[in-house]
Chain A
Amino acid sequence: MEAGTASSGSGIHLPGMEIAKASKNRYEVMIGPAHPGSGHMRIFVEVDGDIMVKVDPDIGFVHRTMEKLAEGREWIQNIPLFERIAILDACNITLPYVRAVEKLLGIEAPERARYLRTLLCEINRVASHLYGMGIFGVFLGHSTLYMWAFGDREVFIDLAERLTGARLTHTYPVFGGVRRDIPDDFPEDARKATRYMRKRLNEYAKIFLNNPNIRSRLENVGVLTKNQAAELGLVGPNIRASGIRYDVRLNEPYEAYGDVDFEIPVFEEGDSLARAWARVEEVRQSLNIIDQVVTWLEKHPRENFMHEKFWKTAPKLYKDVYEGKISYSPKYRIKLMPIFASLKVPPGKSFARVEAGRGEIVYYVESNGDIFPYRVRVVSPSFRNVIAFKYVMPGHRLMDLPAIYGSFDYFPPAFDR
């Protein structure tokens, strides 16, 4: 296997700091550090002629010390902080932190809040996949898909804006509930958006995935076998394209995922094309979930959006704001109790995971009863996916690098945290 030989070298491997012996026909190519297509990442590629021999992703360019910063902030202040890990997937990224703290507090979000969280998670997943698809398109020189995907992403960002009040940094789930209920005209808008997107996905397939030019660049390129994917510990749509049936929504249903009806698409091939199709199919399932959740929210009365522990102490003004009786503030806003500003979480350790757009995200939270967390550990999906480059890319030609890179839908700020 080329993968084995490529990884084993002599001496210590410190990326960027080693002195490489120049052999006759080998050149080192730097992809990055500021790549126009994706952001700040760097990949050291050693090429023999046109063929990649050694690929070394150099992580750490956008490191923001999130975990350390979290130790100096109060519990609720960390929610807007962790959003910055992957800003286009904000709800999915912060949800496990909220769930972990809820476990420590010994509370669980009520039913309506669970459905509202699921709704925003799926809207975010669609937006995140469309972003990835657009980057994938422009990496392969297909600017049409880039424009289309980013334009259609706007539809879902607009939906999220109507729900939460912000386009990307929603700060939507809070301990014990959510911050807003859906507006009155939201279900209709959401249904229009999903119907539009289903039709658009067929056109995406026509112009991009079934396009013979694109197909021949993706088919049998960057094949990740089932064993390899399991061995490297990859997550998300990337392993589901290699035939592994692993999805947190399936294995450990959280929020309202146990109640909605949807499928987890699993592909066998494991090549770049399968990874792209896995995302398209996943978007389709997400649209189904949005439809179901919106119907549920419409049918059920607007109550139970915040945990009893917090909401029962709410003064009359809070209920007036929710019902829209205050002229200058919008309707269906759920105000936070002043206790949130100085929340003390009982000591303990907890752990939560969620299936984000790019894969499983894990939070480990430790509290010693203070107003700050003692330790927060984040393992983001891109961090677990980036290692695949090292084992999948060698053996391919240099022109296949963007095809493989794009198909892994990998987001530099997410691995560096």
Chain B
Amino acid sequence: MPAKVSQKKNPKRNPLGKVFAGNIGALAVGLKYFFDPNRITLLYPHEYIKLNKGYRGFIVLIKEKCISCSSCARICPAAAMRMLSVKVYNEKLKKYMIKKYPVINYNRCIFCGLCVDVCPTEALYHVPYHDIVYENMNDMILSLEDFQKEPENIEFKEGIPVKYYFDERRGLVKTPYMEELEKRNEKEEKNQKVEGEGEKGAS
């Protein structure tokens, strides 16, 4: 069915007068939220959002899967991804050959994810976080080795992971993501056992 036009008018002023209809109504709503506020504020460095798996964050290369087709570099709208020529020893032919691999410049990347989507062998993937600090701009141009590692997120060490859930009454509700916390605690315990004396995160 196509759309219909519905003729409407500005709601009329309430006959009870300004005071009752407007001011009291507005004050009542204000008071309701004064006692029962709808807070969604994230205390950022102390808490961080544990994003879903589908989030388009930083990009990681799986070198073994790359077939050097350079589709990712060609489709990149910001020219952030470039192909790098690397000498690779080919065991079948027993000689060195030049092979191309993508590298990324995060100064330019806009996280559109077209490179990941266009890759015919799924050699690239997103990690679900994007808040990473680099000390200088040259570090943001990743080398081939760095591009294969998942970047390290500092918040993951200290902050509390938080997830937002949809709620009918409150819109978004912030809840600590316990699974992630437990996982991290287990990891820490293991590390402490291995190292003997636990070095608590001084960073």
B38 CB within 8 Å of chain A: yes
A370 CB within 8 Å of chain B: no
Considering only CB atoms and an 8 Å cut-off, how many residues of chain B contact the other chain? 57
Q: Apart from A74-B75, A203-B29, A317-B121, what are 10 other A-B pairs with CB-CB below 8 Å?
A: A154-B171, A166-B55, A179-B113, A188-B166, A189-B166, A211-B22, A250-B5, A261-B1, A277-B8, A334-B117
A268 CB within 8 Å of chain B: yes
Interface pair B23/A211, CB less than 8 Å apart: yes
Report how far A250 CA is from B60 CA in the complex, Å: 45
Report how far A154 CA is from B113 CA in the complex, Å: 22
- B138-188 interface with A by 8 A CB criterion: 164, 166-172
B136 CB within 8 Å of chain A: no
Cβ proximity bits A240-273 to B, threshold 8 Å, 1 near / 0 not: 0000010101100100011111111111110101
A230 CB within 8 Å of chain B: no
- In the complex, which residue of chain A has the Cβ closest to the Cβ of B4? A263
Report how far A272 CA is from B94 CA in the complex, Å: 77
Interface pair A341/B71, CB less than 8 Å apart: yes
A151-B10 CB under 8 A given contacts A210-B26, A326-B122: no
A192 CB within 8 Å of chain B: yes
The interface residues of chain B lying within 8 Å CB-to-CB of A259 are 1
A76 CB within 8 Å of chain B: yes
A162-B77 CB under 8 A given contacts A155-B172, A338-B69: no
Interface pair A196/B171, CB less than 8 Å apart: yes
A196-B170 CB under 8 A given contacts A180-B54, A264-B5, A268-B7: yes
A247-B118 CB under 8 A given contacts A192-B167, A329-B125, A340-B75: no
Considering only CB atoms and an 8 Å cut-off, how many residues of chain A contact the other chain? 84
A77 CB within 8 Å of chain B: yes
CB contact between A266 and one of B8, B75, B112, B120 (< 8 Å): that residue: B8
Chain A residues within CB distance 8 Å of chain B = 73-74, 76-81, 144, 151-152, 154-155, 158-159, 161-162, 165-166, 169, 171, 179-180, 183, 188-189, 192-193, 195-197, 200, 203, 205-213, 215, 219, 245, 247, 249-250, 253, 257-269, 271, 273-274, 277, 281, 315, 317, 321, 326, 328-331, 333-338, 340-342
Interface pair B6/A336, CB less than 8 Å apart: no
The interface residues of chain A lying within 8 Å CB-to-CB of B82 are none
Shortest A141–chain B CB gap in Å is 14
Interface pair B117/A266, CB less than 8 Å apart: no
Report how far A209 CA is from B26 CA in the complex, Å: 10
Interface pair B55/A165, CB less than 8 Å apart: yes
Interface pair A336/B118, CB less than 8 Å apart: yes
Shortest A159–chain B CB gap in Å is 8
Shortest A160–chain B CB gap in Å is 12
Interface pair A192/B25, CB less than 8 Å apart: no
- In the complex, which residue of chain B has the Cβ closest to the Cβ of A249? B3
- In the complex, which residue of chain B has the Cβ closest to the Cβ of A151? B40
Shortest A34–chain B CB gap in Å is 25
Interface pair A196/B71, CB less than 8 Å apart: no
Interface pair A212/B22, CB less than 8 Å apart: yes
Report how far A193 CA is from B6 CA in the complex, Å: 25
Shortest A344–chain B CB gap in Å is 13
Report how far A203 CA is from B36 CA in the complex, Å: 14
The interface residues of chain A lying within 8 Å CB-to-CB of B55 are 161, 165-166
Interface pair B75/A154, CB less than 8 Å apart: no
Shortest B147–chain A CB gap in Å is 15
Looking at B54, B74, B168, which has the most chain A CB atoms within 10 Å of its CB? B54
Interface pair A171/B23, CB less than 8 Å apart: no
Interface pair B54/A144, CB less than 8 Å apart: no
The interface residues of chain A lying within 8 Å CB-to-CB of B7 are 266, 268
Interface pair A165/B171, CB less than 8 Å apart: no
CB contact between B56 and one of A77, A165, A250, A253 (< 8 Å): that residue: A165
B114 CB within 8 Å of chain A: yes
Report how far A192 CA is from B9 CA in the complex, Å: 29
Interface pair A77/B122, CB less than 8 Å apart: no
Q: List 5 A-B contacts (CB under 8 A).
A: A200-B171, A250-B5, A263-B6, A264-B3, A277-B10
- In the complex, which residue of chain A has the Cβ closest to the Cβ of B38? A151
The interface residues of chain B lying within 8 Å CB-to-CB of A165 are 54-56, 113, 126
The interface residues of chain B lying within 8 Å CB-to-CB of A253 are 2-3
Interface pair B112/A171, CB less than 8 Å apart: yes
A144-B166 CB under 8 A given contacts A250-B3, A261-B1: no
Looking at B10, B28, B74, B170, which has the most chain A CB atoms within 10 Å of its CB? B10
The interface residues of chain A lying within 8 Å CB-to-CB of B78 are 80
Shortest B125–chain A CB gap in Å is 5
Interface pair B18/A212, CB less than 8 Å apart: yes
The interface residues of chain B lying within 8 Å CB-to-CB of A166 are 55-56, 111-113
CB contact between A207 and one of B9, B30, B164 (< 8 Å): that residue: B30
Report how far A213 CA is from B22 CA in the complex, Å: 8
CB contact between A338 and one of B8, B18, B23, B118 (< 8 Å): that residue: B118
A196-B69 CB under 8 A given contacts A162-B54, A166-B111, A330-B53: no
The interface residues of chain B lying within 8 Å CB-to-CB of A328 are 125
Report how far A120 CA is from B29 CA in the complex, Å: 31
The interface residues of chain B lying within 8 Å CB-to-CB of A208 are 26
Report how far A198 CA is from B197 CA in the complex, Å: 56
Report how far A180 CA is from B116 CA in the complex, Å: 13
Report how far A273 CA is from B22 CA in the complex, Å: 15
Report how far A303 CA is from B105 CA in the complex, Å: 36
Interface pair B6/A266, CB less than 8 Å apart: yes
Report how far A216 CA is from B161 CA in the complex, Å: 46
The interface residues of chain B lying within 8 Å CB-to-CB of A265 are 6, 8
The interface residues of chain B lying within 8 Å CB-to-CB of A211 are 22-23, 25-26
Interface pair A267/B8, CB less than 8 Å apart: yes
